[in-house]
Amino acid sequence: MLSGRMKRGLSWLSDHASAEPTHPKGVLEMDMAENWLVRPDVLPIMKDAVELNLKQQDLSYSQELGGPPGLLQVSASFFNHFFSPQVAILPEHLVTSTGCASILETLIFSICDTGDGLLLETPMWDGFAVTSTLRNNVRICPVRYTRRPTNAAEFIQHYSEAMKNATCPIRGLIVCNPHNPLGQIYPTVWLEALLQFCETHDIHFISDEIYALSNFGATRCSQDVSNPDVVIGLETKFTSVLAIDLKRLEVDPARVHIAYSTSKDFGSSGFRLGYLITQSNPGLRRALAVLNRFKVSNISSIAVAALFSNLQTLETVLNSSKSRLRIAAETLENFLSFHQIAFYSPVAGCFMWARFGGELATKETDAELLEKFAAAGVAVAAGSKFNSGEPGWFRLTFALPWKVLIEGLRRIEIAMEAKRHWIPEKSQL
Ligand SMILES: Cc1ncc(COP(=O)(O)O)c(C=O)c1O
């Protein structure tokens, strides 16, 4: 009783992306990309806003396209304050929807036709494939490295090769910056080169900046460049694509689009509020506004409008979130170093990419390890979910309340059958 396309979609889903895991009761979830450390500061602001501002009118449909004008106004100020755009962001550059995923799905629908492709580096968040393929039937054409690029020219070379090897028309590329799952940041000159690559090939540039304000900077461990188990990134400070001078690069701003949401930086994935920012493409803005009409709940709008309306308080909230994220990341780095597990030292986000399976890992040993984690009562995200070419890698969330984090790491030691036991420093969270 399903349409042909839905049957094809479900069959693609079972082959390529795992259905969301349902964890047995009591499993400690370290596989979910969520920031619990900012929640104590965000929740009271949201609660008060709903208590004070929810009116009868809010029980009606929101009439405006793109989002309620009040929300768009404070959101524009929020982006102008925190993303340092070259061109000031106006409410008419924004569209709201139910999270970043919904923005991406409708953006891809609006710029690609069935059978088109988008370039995307691996490892990658599996949701990119779902938002591209499940409804839109747009393919992800992976950009893979065997050796990590060390400069912009090498970086672009990988994109050129992926473009050449693609068996479908390429309509654009997606860059996840800060990166999920690596937790690292692209050097701005690489982004500039990639923007010019898009201009040359007449394709769209989609920048997913959902972790933008979770940029906590270099950790203690990243100072130790002599440790061969630690992959240190080239950049520590996030620069939004909005802050790049497209005029100087001779890049048409109509091809540049940013996706953002409150899910990660504000620990509010349940509120489902995301944004498209596109500053010179009114046709595309209108397309997304129509596709996302009536999607965002007025309660979420009220809560987020209150959060964004006091930028000074928000600055304090974000600074304290970043220092907690850094402490939690350093704790996990300390644990991994103690057990001689290789990892990417993150400068942003709420998780870490770590090689629990070791260098000799195979698909089979990864599956066994995943079962051992589950048996020890801890859920860890497998690298295969992120289209990682190299076995052994897993993604682990560290942005958890201290007791939960330490208990999760204790369970991981059980799963690894560790002979030596790590002792955490005193909690600073
Ligand atoms: C890179 C990236 N983009 C988008 C999303 C989806 O965000 P949202 O909850 O706002 O739909 C996620 C969620 O994990 C993500 O990691």
What CATH code is carried by the domain that includes residue 197? 3.40.640.10
Q: Do 327 and 291 fall within a single domain?
A: no
Tens digit of pLDDT at every position of the chain (429 positions): 999 999 999 998 888 766 555 677 789 999 999 999 999 999 999 999 999 999 999 999 988 899 999 999 999 999 999 999 999 999 999 999 999 999 999 999 999 999 999 999 999 999 999 999 999 999 999 999 888 899 999 999 999 999 999 999 999 999 999 999 999 999 999 999 999 999 999 999 999 999 999 999 999 887 776 778 899 999 999 999 999 999 999 999 999 999 999 999 999 999 999 999 999 999 999 999 999 999 999 999 999 999 999 999 999 999 999 999 999 999 999 999 999 999 999 999 999 999 999 999 999 999 999 999 999 999 999 999 999 989 999 999 999 999 999 999 999 999 999 999 999 988 777
Nearest-angstrom CA–CA distance, 372 and 342: 19
Nearest-angstrom CA–CA distance, 201 and 4: 34
Q: Do 121 and 171 fall within a single domain?
A: yes
353 beta partners:
395
Residue 25: the pLDDT is 78
176 beta partners:
208
- Residue 172 is assigned to a structural domain of this protein: yes
The torsion angle over the Cα atoms of residues 414, 419, 424 and 425, rounded to 10 degrees, is 180
Q: What is the number of the ligand 1 atom nearest to the C-alpha of 269?
A: 9
Ligand 1 center to residue 210 CA distance, Å?
7
- Residue 421 is assigned to a structural domain of this protein: no
Helix (H, G, I), strand (E, B) or coil at 257: strand
Q: Classify residue 227 by burial, with Cβ atoms within 10 Å: 0-12, 13-18, 19+.
A: middle
CATH number at residue 391: 3.90.1150.10
Residue 338 DSSP one-character state: H
Question: Among 124, 125, 268, which is best to mutate for testing ligand 1, by the most ligand atoms less than 8 A from CB?
Answer: 125
Residue 222: the pLDDT is 76
Q: Of 261, 287, 310, which residue is a domain's last? A: 310
Ligand 1 center to residue 159 CA distance, Å?
23
Ligand 1 center to residue 100 CA distance, Å?
6
Ligand 1 center to residue 128 CA distance, Å?
9
Q: Do 165 and 213 fall within a single domain?
A: yes
- Residue 379 is assigned to a structural domain of this protein: yes
Q: What's CA 299's distance to the chain center, in Å?
A: 24
In terms of DSSP bridges, do strands 94-97 and 28-29 run parallel, antiparallel, or are they unpaired?
unpaired
Task: Decide: 274 in ligand 1 pocket, CB within 6 A.
Answer: yes
- Residue 197 is assigned to a structural domain of this protein: yes
- Residue 382 is assigned to a structural domain of this protein: yes
Q: How many domains does the chain have?
A: 2
Task: Decide: 176 in ligand 1 pocket, CB within 6 A.
Answer: yes
Q: Do 194 and 212 fall within a single domain?
A: yes
Q: Do 264 and 143 fall within a single domain?
A: yes
Q: Do 324 and 275 fall within a single domain?
A: no
Nearest-angstrom CA–CA distance, 72 and 53: 17
Angle (nearest 5°) at CA 424 between 422 and 425: 140
Nearest-angstrom CA–CA distance, 135 and 114: 10
- Residue 121 is assigned to a structural domain of this protein: yes
219 within 8 A of 345, measured Cβ to Cβ: yes
Q: Do 302 and 338 fall within a single domain?
A: no
37 within 8 A of 399, measured Cβ to Cβ: yes
Q: Do 258 and 121 fall within a single domain?
A: yes
Q: Of 286, 310, 334, which residue is a domain's last? A: 310
Residue 41: the pLDDT is 98
- Residue 217 is assigned to a structural domain of this protein: yes
The helix (run of H) or strand (run of E) holding residue 397 is strand 394-397
Residue 21: the pLDDT is 53
Q: Of 289, 310, 331, which residue is a domain's last? A: 310
Residue 18: the pLDDT is 60
Domain carrying residue 27: 4-42+315-416
Q: What's CA 412's distance to the chain center, in Å?
A: 24
- Residue 49 is assigned to a structural domain of this protein: no
The helix (run of H) or strand (run of E) holding residue 193 is helix 188-201
Beta strands in 177-262 (DSSP E): 204-208, 230-232, 256-261
Nearest-angstrom CA–CA distance, 415 and 398: 17
Helix (H, G, I), strand (E, B) or coil at 79: helix
Q: Do 216 and 322 fall within a single domain?
A: no
Q: Do 223 and 295 fall within a single domain?
A: yes
Residue 212: the pLDDT is 98
Ligand 1 center to residue 248 CA distance, Å?
31
Nearest-angstrom CA–CA distance, 305 and 229: 43
Residue 348 DSSP one-character state: B
Residue 195 DSSP one-character state: H
Task: Decide: 101 in ligand 1 pocket, CB within 6 A.
Answer: yes
Task: Decide: 99 in ligand 1 pocket, CB within 6 A.
Answer: yes
Q: Which tokens hold the place of 79?
A: 């982006």
Cβ-proximal residues to 374 (8 Å cutoff; 6+ apart), any chain: 23, 24, 27
Q: Do 154 and 247 fall within a single domain?
A: yes
Ligand 1 center to residue 125 CA distance, Å?
8
Helix (H, G, I), strand (E, B) or coil at 19: coil
Closest CA to 398 of 406, 390, 388: 406
Q: Do 216 and 250 fall within a single domain?
A: yes
Q: What's CA 324's distance to the chain center, in Å?
A: 19
